[in-house]
Structure 1
């Protein structure tokens, strides 16, 4: 029978649960920062088990975000491909300038050897699966173009992979060590086949995904420009505004919200950075394309649950600055 490791904030006093959660997330996932959208009340539960080399984690928690910086990724001695497959709630997976939204019935994948951010904007129940990265790269797959993509789960091999991940997790307590190891190898093969199929598709769907990549790249290159607009983007990418909006129509987002969120995330990184202590909040906001302080403050509070000054002070206290 395979062992399951359980963690619950129920054992901690309410005022201590946020700090306890951050410590657990940091240690269990090998160096992962987290924040709670400014919430003061929190509860979360983690259960984890192994199927050979594959690590399965069931996570239940209030809304929260996790972040792995490039520095943390470089300093880690483990290399995994990581899958998030929601049972309840949603996740926004951001890596390599791409962002994939995933809800129950789907899954998305990302690479722990690079920086990434996962947003969980509501209470969630997720299955998180970690697969040894070298097991997939040795088959010749180019991973970078496949990361932060909505792999699927509604049909085909990606659905078989999703059902195998879920059923393996649910049955692990009844498996012998040898059976669990075999189940883990099966999951890795199904994920490999799903990624191989994703890499080989040449359809209108992947052409639209390619346009989304071009849009995201353009936004990333011009994020600091306050004049960044849908009209200018359409002109630069040689397509219509309608086509730009259509490219984002399958995601739980709009282009305007995508730009706003990326600017806010950039401001959050700078506000956390002690090296930016000499810069005012307004200066940081304007450096990332905002041109109205009141609008920035409102948007920042809606995104994080805190005023920019409160967020900065809380981040510095947490880091000991």
Structure 2
């Protein structure tokens, strides 16, 4: 049976949870800075196991960001390729001047031997996989251009995603030998995914890159009431048609994506009760809803309750 490491803020007093979490993240992932978007309340859980030399961690936590600085890179001992594959929530990875956003059904890979930043702007349930870099990279193969890239939608990268998830879930039932074999399989599938990515169609990669830029822009400007398809098109220097084409197949429009993120943010703020709870209108306006009546209407459509009913439930 594969050994597991369990860490939970449930055993920590509320006021000490945030600093304890930051310490755990830094220790477990080999040196990271964390911040909680200014939040004062936090809870998080990590459960980690190994499949040979591949480390798989399930991380469930409130919104937070992590940063790996140049000084942290220099003090690191082991070189890993790191993968974040969300079950719930999203992860926005920035490295080497690129950025990619993953949700359920996708994964993003990045390199711990370089600086990077990962934003988790909502509560998350992520699978994080650390693969020794030497187990994937071979002489003559360069994957630098694949870092901060989204994979997993189809092909071998989809097989890799399901294998990583299933391996994590089944590790408690595996012998040490079986776990090591599963780790070797993960390394091989990750390598094949990167090789497939290197030869993929340029049009597809450009469309995915634009889609990730759209998501990143929306995340950064979510509180701006003037955020719109036209504003995004101007900022990214492309046409509305290109935006719509890039976002095709996502199951929602760009406007629907913006509204969903704003509603999720308002829901989080409404769940913060107590004597210092903010007025509902202030929350709505702070997340870009310019009309309180419109906010109440779309909130009820999304949750089945009015904002005041939701806060009181």
Q: TM-score, normalization: structure 2?
A: 0.69
Pair 104,144 (structure 1): closer, same or farther in 2 beyond 3 Å: same
CA distance in 1 between counterparts of 2:11 and 2:148 reads: 34
Paired residues of 1:98 and 1:148 also in contact (CA < 8 A) = yes
Aligned-pair CA distance for 1:144 = 1.4
> Per-residue CA shift, 1:152-181, capped at 9, x if unaligned?
2x3221111111101111111111111110
Aligned-pair CA distance for 1:233 = 7.0
CA distance in 2 between counterparts of 1:193 and 1:150 reads: 15
Q: Secondary structure at the match of 1:137?
A: coil
CA distance in 2 between counterparts of 1:211 and 1:174 reads: 42
Q: Secondary structure at the match of 2:136?
A: helix
Q: What is the aligned partner in structure 2 of residue 70 from structure 1?
A: 70
CA distance in 1 between counterparts of 2:138 and 2:178 reads: 24
Aligned-pair CA distance for 1:244 = 6.3
Q: What is the aligned partner in structure 2 of residue 22 from structure 1?
A: 22
Q: What is the aligned partner in structure 1 of residue 164 from structure 2?
A: 165
Pair 232,32 (structure 1): closer, same or farther in 2 beyond 3 Å: closer
Alignment of 1:42 with 2:28, yes or no, is no
Q: What is the aligned partner in structure 1 of residue 269 from structure 2?
A: none
CA distance in 2 between counterparts of 1:37 and 1:214 reads: 21
Q: Show the 5 A alignment for 1:30-179.
A: 30-138=30-138, 140-152=140-152, 154-179=153-178
> Per-residue CA shift, 1:92-136, capped at 9, x if unaligned?
111111111110111110000111111111111100000001121
How many pairs does the alignment contain?
A: 242
CA distance in 2 between counterparts of 1:205 and 1:248 reads: 9
Gapped regions of structure 1 (runs ≥ 5): 216-228, 235-239, 255-300, 303-321
Q: Secondary structure at the match of 1:162?
A: helix
> Per-residue CA shift, 1:211-261, capped at 9, x if unaligned?
78999xxxxxxxxxxxxx976974xxxxx544764686469998xxxxxxx
Aligned-pair CA distance for 1:207 = 3.9
CA distance in 2 between counterparts of 1:83 and 1:162 reads: 10
CA RMSD of aligned residues (A): 3.0
Q: What is the aligned partner in structure 2 of residue 195 from structure 1?
A: 194
> Per-residue CA shift, 1:57-101, capped at 9, x if unaligned?
010000101110122112211110000001111111111111111
